[in-house]
Amino acid sequence: MKKLVILKPSVNSKYHFGSGDLEKSDVIFHSSNLFSAIVNNFVLLYGEDYKEEINKKVEELAENLRLSSLFIKIKNTFLLPKPEYPIFYLLKNENYMKIKPKDVKKIKFVTLKAYKEIVMEKLKEIGYGSKNYYINCLFDNNLDEYFNKRVTKSIFATEEEIEEIKNIEIFKRYDEEKNTIDRICERPAEGQLYKVEFIKFDKNVELYFIIDYPEYLNKEIQASIRLLADEGLGGKRSIGSGHFEKVEIKDIKEFKDFNELFNTQGELNILLGVGIPKEDEISNIKYYKLLELGGYIYSTTKPELVTKHRRSLMALSEGSVVKAFEGCIKNVKPKNSSENIHPVYTHGKPITLPLVEK
């Protein structure tokens, strides 16, 4: 069963998304990290019920959940990752007065409406397999005139949506200076400062993700998702980060465009979350970007693990273009670790969305 979850950021709450560089926050909270947050909430809620069976239950969740990453929603406009498809990269060999290749490269997101009404329709019109995929066709073959009517703030949108969102400052970035904590003395280390970048969202912005799971897990999954309002995402709650004032879980059927797309069979599809391909799926990967997944272990049952790194691996990023794709999970428990370290899963089973219809 597919659900769309909407998270309303608390007023003045700040967020740091990413498991690597503290000096730079992502705008996307990756599905692998989102899975970890949901599973940690599950263990908080049901760990005592399952006791010795909790590791087996977590593996069951990992195998049965499919997730998108956490994306931005501006009022009623849903943002999707830009497809890693030639139509968003190739320009005809022509001279343009106003638009340069660097302007095209700045596009990072596509609105759901523009994806469905412009991108998919143009690919259908041109025909899958054609070599005439140029970004010009997304702008009625007049890049100079239409680019700024359909692109704002790194978002490709319909002209109507551009008018609605162009004056909204979607988020602000700012730095905070922190002290390094000496893990032995548990106090600030003298003279060791570092910066952390946070983002704050506009009042018109919410965040959303899509999750798919078997009906028998409904009660436990929904409870674990609702706990995000208290446990948060993207920073320590004790310093005012990661808070959400509201969590809504809705049936995907309430969202007409999403529902229609999920009922469409795709010859090619985009990943809405990070993907770890199974061996027999590698040939199904058509256009992609790679993303390194790593970071520290976070454990609600073994807090001593927070100083240990999970093993890093490479995955397909959001927007990668594939044929049929399920993905898999990987146990990234540190090598040569003791037997009493529980499994540490990186989730790579993403939600996919049709790009080219069958």
* Domain boundaries along the sequence of the chain: 2-75+170-357, 80-166
Report how far residue 33's alpha carbon sits from residue 21's, in angstroms, rounded to the nearest whole number.
15
Q: What's the pLDDT at 99?
A: 83
> What is the model's pLDDT at position 57?
92
Read off the pLDDT of residues 41-87 as tens digits, 9 standing for 90 and up.
999 999 888 887 888 999 999 999 999 999 999 999 999 999 999 88
CA dihedral 80, 83, 84, 89 (to 10 degrees): -110
What is the pLDDT averaged over residues 208-214? 98
What token pair was written down for 297? 């272990």
pLDDT of residue 247: 96
Residues 2-34: tens digit of each pLDDT: 999 999 999 888 888 875 666 677 788 999 999
Q: For residue 226, give the nearest of 240, 204, 211, 205 by alpha carbon.
A: 211
CB within 8 Å of 357: residues ≥ 6 apart: 120, 124, 264, 265, 266, 267
> 293 with 274: CB under 8 angstroms?
yes
Residue 257 half-sphere exposure toward CB, CA atoms < 13 A: 13
Average pLDDT estimate for 316-333: 94
Residue 134 or residue 356, greater confidence? 356
Query: Would you state the structure tokens that stand for residue 214, as one six-digit string?
Result: 């078997």
Residue 72: which H helix or E strand, with range? strand 71-74
Q: What is the DSSP string of 190-218?
A: EEEEEEEEEEEE-TTEEEEEEEE--GGGH
Buried b (16+ CB within 10 A) or exposed e, 13-51: bbbbbbbeeeeebbbbbbbbbbbbbbbbbbbeebeeeee
Strand 109-111 with 155-156, pairing: parallel
Region 210-239: mean pLDDT is: 88
State the amino acid at position 350 in one-letter form. P
Nearest to 312 by CA among 346, 285, 337: 346
Q: Are 308 and 296 in contact (CB under 8 A)?
A: yes
31-50 and 54-64 helices cross at what angle (nearest 10)?
Answer: 140
What pLDDT digit, counting tens, does each position of 237-269 carry? 655 577 899 999 999 999 999 999 999 999 999
5 within 8 A of 244, measured Cβ to Cβ: no
The whole-number pLDDT of residue 266 equals 95
Q: With CA atoms as reference, report the closest residue to 228 among 16, 40, 19.
A: 40
Q: Among 133-147, 190-204, 317-331, which range has the highest average pLDDT?
A: 317-331
Question: What tokens were used for 68?
Answer: 């998108």
Q: Give 2-75+170-357's CATH code, choosing from 3.30.70, 3.30.310, 3.40.50, 3.10.290.
A: 3.30.70
DSSP state of 124: H
Among candidate residues 175, 244, 151, 172, the one with its CA nearest the CA of residue 206: 244
Element (H, E) at 45: helix 31-50
The H or E element spanning position 55 is helix 54-64
How buried is 114 (Cβ within 10 angstroms: 0-12 exposed, 13-18 middle, 19+ buried)? buried
